[in-house]
Amino acid sequence: MKKVLLITHHETSNLGIISKILTKKYLITSIYYKNINIINSNDLLGFSAYIFFGGKMSANSSSKTIYTEFSFLKKLIASNKLIIGICLGAQLIAKIYGSKIYKNKNNFVEIGYRKLIKNDLKFFSNVSSMLQFHNEGIGFNPYMNVLAFGRIFEIDAFKIKSKKIYGFQFHPEINQSMIEYWYSKLSFKKQGTDNIRKILSDHKKYKEKNYKWLSDFLFKVIK
């Protein structure tokens, strides 16, 4: 049975629907990003796929733990591993390839369901909106094939050319408890933040199709 490593950015992470999907076919292991440096990185190279989750820290951080995570990601890239980045995970990947990770010039954020601006209609067939929950975004770099464009940031989804590497700024893994918890941790609501009732209403509207899309995607790429 193939193994999948989930890299989280919170010590007590809720992995959302991804863990439920993956346990149907794969053995899954999770590791907190701060623990990457205490495990021999060669021991972490024996997985079929790697999923880097979101987090409140910035891909522009100069911390040793983020530096270690960048180093680990570069080893995975050099080993031609299948890598999937979600939100912060996508930003880390994109930055390695030269993207600028930046805040909106008007200090707008994206928190709530937003319509996908699809550049690859086949890739995103049968889904229309995904949950966004970020205050920084991804700039274009020439190594990426753009799957979806952003709204107040440049890129919403990408695949690295000639690699099995995908990045999604949005959160396809989200469930209701995650939404409620993340929203409760917002210190104040910047422009671009939907109210919680609208987000939960949209989640109810879109979740089934989004979960189906995520499941189909994961089973297709993890071979």
Q: Which residues contact 37 (CB under 8 A, 6 or more apart)?
A: 64, 65, 68
In 3D space, the residue among 59, 3, 69 whose CA is nearest the CA of residue 34 turns out to be: 69
| Per annotation, catalytic residue among 110, 136, 154, 173 | 173
> Is residue 145 a contact partner of residue 161, using CB atoms and an 8 Å limit?
yes
Q: How far apart are the first and last CA of the chain?
A: 10
| Per annotation, catalytic residue among 9, 69, 87, 136 | 87
Catalytic site residue 180? no
Distance between CA 172 and CA 208 in Å, rounded?
Answer: 11
Q: Which 3 state secondary structure label does DSSP give 168?
A: strand
Catalytic site residue 87? yes
Give me the active site residues, please. Answer: 87, 171, 173
